[in-house]
Amino acid sequence: MRSHLKPYGSRAENHRNPTAKLLLETIERKQSNLAVSVDVTKSCDFLSIIDAVGPFVCLVKTHIDILEDFTQDVIFKLQKLSVEHDFVIFEDRKFADIGNTVALQYSSGIYRIASWSHITNAHPVPGPSIISGLASVGLPLGRGLLLLAEMSTEGALTEGSYTESAVRMARRHREFVIGFIAQRRMENVGGSAETEEDDFLILSPGVGLGARGDGMGQQYRTPREVVLESGCDVIIVGRGIYGKDLKDTEKIRTQATRYKEAGWEAYQERISVK
Ligand code: S5P
């Protein structure tokens, strides 16, 4: 059976990487395939949004370098919320350099991403050395990597042979690469028939229940299009959940519930199609 037609929980067994297992088990436990992307500039908004959406999400995605008042205390509080609300952390760093540089960017600097983020991601553009560079830091810590095989933006160059090469690179590094940022499943991309082992996780941004775009190139699809029609595993939603009023935690909670339900309904419909 194609992997995405199976329940999340049963797919955890196919994965050797502990972070892939953790994410699948968290999705199953919380009955949520919703990830919230918290792209705000103030630590207090960052933490209060995470606290509000925490019960409804399997994962929180961060852009830690957007915070203008970053201190180590933010990481301490983020990790505490991750334990309290039971969600996985994904720093959306989009590494894109040579192996040696990305290893330093991942382990060091102010943010020391590898020390707190379960998942991070990278552009495949430098070739396989970006994976080995990041793996030298992340694998001993049990971390997982997503490759950006496709992007959600209008006119993205991530298509055709680029996407195929990304998938082939990932298949050669299954111990560390747990899946893709993409708009659809990747099993049949890059010239290999689907196998049980090829169960990559597909995390998909560009999700909204309202507008179809943001006027800056972003393109939105509904949870149903993403999960049911395209077979993606996790919907990543940012502004669709917290909008402009970052202090209105009631509204944020309502929106998170709405997206959680839409994502889960689409998944249930998907696994019931035999
Ligand atoms: O192709 C992509 C890849 C990513 S990781 N398109 C994206 O939008 N993202 C990220 O998802 C982007 O950096 C942002 O953090 C989030 C989408 O936010 P939204 O507010 O448009 O939902």
Among protein residues, the one with the nearest Cα to ligand 1's atom 4 is: 205
45 is catalytic: no
Residue that is written with structure tokens 């519930």 in the block: 257
pLDDT digits (tens, 9 = 90+) for 145-179: 999 999 999 999 999 999 999 999 999 999 999 99
pLDDT attached to residue 92: 99
Q: Are the CB atoms for 163 and 148 separated by under 8 Å?
A: no
Ligand 1 interacting residues, C-beta cut-off 6 A: 37, 39, 63, 92, 151-152, 181, 205-206, 214, 218, 236-240
214 annotated to bind ligand = no
Q: Which of 95-99, 102-106, 186-190, 229-233 has the lowest mean pLDDT?
A: 186-190
Q: Is the pTM of this model over 0.75?
A: yes
Beta strands (DSSP E) in the chain are 34-38, 59-62, 88-95, 119-122, 144-148, 177-181, 201-204, 234-237
Nearest CA among 204, 210, 211, 212 for reference residue 229 = 204
What token pair was written down for 144? 């997982």
Mean pLDDT of 243-249: 94
| pLDDT tens-digit map of 68-124 | 999 999 999 999 999 999 999 999 999 999 999 999 999 999 999 999 999 999 999
Instruction: Give the pLDDT score at 188.
Output: 86
Specify whether 97 is catalytic: yes
What CATH number does the domain containing 131 carry?
3.20.20.70
Measured from the CA of 220, which atom of ligand 1 is nearest?
21
pLDDT at position 267 is 98
Distance 10 CA to ligand 1 centre (A): 28
The pLDDT confidence band at residue 191, using thresholds 50, 70 and 90, is confident
Say whether pLDDT at 17 is over 80. Answer: yes
Pocket perturbation via mutation, ligand 1, pick of 34, 39, 59 by most ligand atoms within 8 A of CB = 39
Say how many domains are in the chain: 1
What is the model's pLDDT at position 195? Answer: 61
Question: In whole angstroms, what separates CA 163 from the centre of its chain?
Answer: 17
Measure the CA–CA gap between 50 and 45, rounded to whole angstroms. 8
> Residue 229's domain spans which residues?
3-271
Q: What amino acid occupies position 134? A: L
Query: What atom in ligand 1 is closest to the CA of residue 237?
Result: 22
Residue type, 132: S
221 secondary structure, DSSP code: B
CA pair distance 171, 243, nearest whole angstrom: 37
- Cα-Cα-Cα-Cα dihedral of 18, 19, 22, 23, to 10°? -150
Q: How confident is the model at residue 2 (pLDDT cuts 50, 70, 90)?
A: confident
Please check the confidence at residue 60 and state whether its pLDDT lies above 70.
Answer: yes
